[in-house]
Chain A
Amino acid sequence: MKLEIKNVTKKFKEKTAVNNFSMELQSGECVGLIGPNGAGKSTLIKVIADIIDPSTGEVLLDGKKISKMKKEIGYLPQYPNFFQWMTAKETLTFMGQLSGIKREELLNGIPEILSKVGLSGEENSKVRTFSGGMKQRLGIAQALLHKPALIVMDEPVSALDPIGRREVLNIIKEIKKDTTILLSTHILSDAEEICERFVIIKSGKKIEDTTMSELLNRNSGNKINVDITSKSQKWIENVKSLNFVKGVEVMGNKLKIEVEDIESNKNMLLANALEHNVDLVRFEIDNDTLEEIFLKLVVEK
């Protein structure tokens, strides 16, 4: 399986929601599409799910137009609604039959998929009575039912409470072992938890396509954060005089020490601190969190 998004642009009247966006997705990958609200994530997801047509450009799955490959795609909308009057089982039967699955297969497949998403015992409850998390899990069940090669999810966890979020994240972690996943989110810690690859989108444009570790490495400066207690304040002067230290920022008892080479200097600094009997509270390499990197990318560019 290979998903190609080629120069997709989508305009709504005067507003350009997606602007010349291209990316490729290989089998087995799990890609997080992240961006602030209104960046064009949902629009792009909808173009991929063939709900809206792009103004220009195309989306190909295995070299074929996406509209001819619907059986290979499982789609989870941002707010899966379903028919309120259907039961969970009826919903899955309905969506499954529309996907072209035979009745006999559904008979076995539905209980299996329901237990996978933790909805066993709810097969005969009406969708109306479901909580947001349960609906989302039913949505995932529906997206998985016809064993698609690619699952596209639009903000699968954004609207859920912490418990529902945890449940859904665990299910996604489980299913990503055997499917390709593309999901959008504006919650970074979620993306960080399930995806290896990130595509950051802003104002409809792709501004970054990278992996987690690359992103963190690229953005780490040669800085060490040290917290000390007030009785060791004297050590600060000592640190400033060390030859490998390029600068020290002091914020109360917190020090941010910039060194020449983090690999070799960090232990030297620690040794120096121990030598001076410094009362250490915390000693760590200063890494930008994903959130900081995200803010930098999205706000500055």
Chain B
Amino acid sequence: MNNFAVLAKKEFVQMVREFKVIWLPLVFIFLGITQPVVSYYLPSILEALGGGQGITIDPSMAAQKGGEVLASTLGSQFDQLGVMIIIVSMMGVVQSDKANGMLAFILTRPVTVGSYISGKIISNYLFVACSVALGYLVSYLYVVFLFTSVDFGDLIVALLFYLLWILFIVSFTTMISTIFNSQGIIALISIVFLLGCRIIVGLSPVIDNVNPASMSKHAMEVLILGTVNSQALWGVLAALAWTAVTILITNIWISKKKFNNE
């Protein structure tokens, strides 16, 4: 436990030194603002730029409910650019330690692989989750200001669902970062796989029940409909199970010293 604390603290200090602690929350705040602001002003923008000839602007477009706009912040901003940015910010999480030999070096000390991985995942997850929550909160404020207000209970439940999806993103990227050695490959595989997971959500209820990305869909449903989907429990269990699997694979990979393939 003590080693875990030392390693987690090191991660936090590194985030501060590399200014990640500033730019990642800023990115999510920016993404959070974009959706409500663009939705609100889109009719006026189209009117101003579109020449106005022969274009009818549906007034209902501007009359979206707050929950819908907040849901599309998650679905259109966070799930696309947001996920990519999380991946890019985390692709070196284990890979850089492998590349400069620090992983092997750290493991020559009496440090268990478990405390190394948990130090990485928990610290990074806490930080990414806070950034996402901050962006989400700012988005909420804009939504309330520009559209209608959102039920606070729904807001929190949706966030919790969404953060579970983020947990899987973090653990999956960590696993890929452990297995592969090139940052480009790590980013490519993670982005293709995770966005792929997100895209197939909604195709089939069966797949959704085992797809961690369905957490994002459940979060959006809570915001739009105000009710939790009855299938959500399966999704939660699936997301937790997949997270556990990625952590297990990471653990096995490091324990077997496969990172040292000379």
Contact = CB atoms under 8 A, between A and B. Distances in A.
Interface string A85-120: 100001000110111100000000000000000000
B14 A81 contact: no
A12 B262 CA distance: 8
A246 to B, nearest CB: 51
Nearest to A80: B105
A79 B104 CA distance: 12
Nearest to A142: B105
A70 B109 contact: yes
A85 B257 contact: no
Contacts of A49: 108
B46 interface: no
A99 B109 contact: yes
Contacts of A100: 2, 110
B192 interface: no
A98 B257 contact: no
Contact of B102 (A12, A73, A82): A82
B58 interface: no
Given A85-B14, A98-B6, A77 B106 contact: no
Interface in A46-91: 46, 49-53, 70-71, 73, 75, 77, 79-83, 85, 90
B108 A50 contact: yes
B14 A70 contact: no
A90 B9 CA distance: 12
A97 B6 contact: yes
Contact of A81 (B102, B110, B257): B102
B111 A98 contact: yes
A52 B261 CA distance: 9
Contacts of B110: 70-71, 98-100
Nearest to B16: A85
Interface string B219-262: 00000000000000000000000000000000000000100101
A99 B105 CA distance: 12
Interface residues of B, number: 23
A114 B142 CA distance: 54
Q: Is the interface of B mostly helix, strand, loop or mixed?
A: helix
Contacts of A98: 3, 6-7, 106, 109-111
Interface string B93-136: 00000001110111111110000000000000000000000000
Contacts of A82: 102
Contacts of A80: 105
Nearest to A102: B2
A2 B6 CA distance: 31
B108 A75 contact: yes
Contact of A52 (B10, B13, B111, B260): B260
Q: Residue among A73, A77, A98, A99 with the most chain B CB within 10 A? A: A98
B109 A81 contact: no
B108 A70 contact: yes
Contacts of A95: 109
A202 B18 CA distance: 45
Nearest to A12: B262
Contacts of B10: 83, 94
Nearest to A78: B101
Nearest to A100: B110
A82 B100 CA distance: 8
B253 to A, nearest CB: 14
Contacts of A71: 110
Interface string B1-42: 011001100100110011000000000000000000000000
Interface of A: 12, 43, 46, 49-53, 70-71, 73, 75, 77, 79-83, 85, 90, 94-95, 97-100
The 7 closest A-B pairs by CB, nearest first: A98-B109, A81-B100, A70-B110, A97-B6, A85-B17, A75-B108, A51-B104
18 contacts: A43-B262, A46-B104, A49-B108, A51-B104, A51-B107, A51-B257, A52-B257, A53-B257, A75-B108, A77-B104, A79-B101, A83-B10, A85-B17, A97-B6, A98-B7, A98-B106, A100-B2, A100-B110
Interface of B: 2-3, 6-7, 10, 13-14, 17-18, 100-102, 104-111, 257, 260, 262
